Amino acid sequence: MTDDGAVRRVEAVPATYWAPGTPILWRYRENAGERFHIVRPVTVVRDDADVLAVWMAPGTECVKPVLADGKPLHLEPLESRYTKPRTVQRDRWFGTGVLKLARPGEPWSVWLFWDQGWQFKNWYVNLEQPLARWAGGVDSEDHFLDITVNPDRSWDWRDEDEFAQAQRDGLMDEETAGRVRAAGLAAVETIRAWGRPFADGWQHWRPDPSWAVPSLPGDWDRTPARMSS
């Protein structure tokens, strides 16, 4: 962030498709503001009219939200998690890498997780605003509610307690919550039908070993003046 806390604005450049190996930023805005509080440098795997696929490598330096005193969010009781003052801090992704898939216009992205040794763990459906593209990456807003999908194709809702608390705390109105739930149900129908991207075999994908881990730029908080879809 800039020293005065202001979010700088730059002119957006209409985004074309990125070539494999291109480093971009995958960012989320605060749910009650315009600042970015989650920023992850990723490498483009595939980008076309069907899907944007990116790889977040182990050890990637990211930006994440924390409470103003530096306390991790997950350690704060849910009742006060969204109302206490927050800030952001740089940190590193110490888990195994994550492959993220987003189809144009869909209000969710699908993430793939592995255990050590490339043992596939699960898919994770992250409900969110459809990605907005800009010259340096993609932006969205997380919608709290998520779905896990296991290798045997069973699935479960995740974070329903956070979804409910966000509504109680005024981070999401009733109309928006209804749209999010409807998006989740649409995702469930895709899972039940074993549609794309679940049926596409991405769990067998592996990153190009020549790719470097992309760095977190100092101006990660820049905001395009106009988003391109």
Instruction: Identify the CATH number of the domain in which residue 164 sits.
Output: 2.40.380.10
Instruction: Say what the pLDDT of residue 3 is.
Output: 36
Q: Is residue 134 part of a domain?
A: yes
3-state SS assignment for residue 154: coil
Span of 50-59, 175-184, 217-226 with lowest mean pLDDT: 217-226
Q: Is residue 228 part of a domain?
A: no
Q: Is residue 35 part of a domain?
A: yes
Q: Is residue 3 part of a domain?
A: no
Which ranges of the chain would DSSP assign to H, the alpha helix?
78-81, 160-168, 174-193
Distances (CA, A) of 197 to 25, 28, 137, 174: 22, 22, 21, 30
Q: How many domains does the chain divide into?
A: 1
The answer, yes or no, to whether residue 84 has pLDDT greater than 90, is yes
The answer, yes or no, to whether residue 7 has pLDDT greater than 90, is no
Decide: residue 185, CB within 10 A, 0-12 exposed, 13-18 middle, 19+ buried.
exposed
Residue 83 belongs to what domain range?
9-220
Q: Is it true that the peptide bond before 197 is cis, omega within 30 degrees of 0?
A: yes
Q: Is residue 31 part of a domain?
A: yes
Instruction: Say what the pLDDT of residue 222 is.
Output: 87
- Range 40-50 average pLDDT: 97
Instruction: Say what the pLDDT of residue 53 is.
Output: 98
Instruction: Say what the pLDDT of residue 154 is.
Output: 98
Instruction: Say what the pLDDT of residue 61 is.
Output: 97
Q: Is residue 160 part of a domain?
A: yes
Q: Is residue 229 part of a domain?
A: no
Q: Is residue 4 part of a domain?
A: no
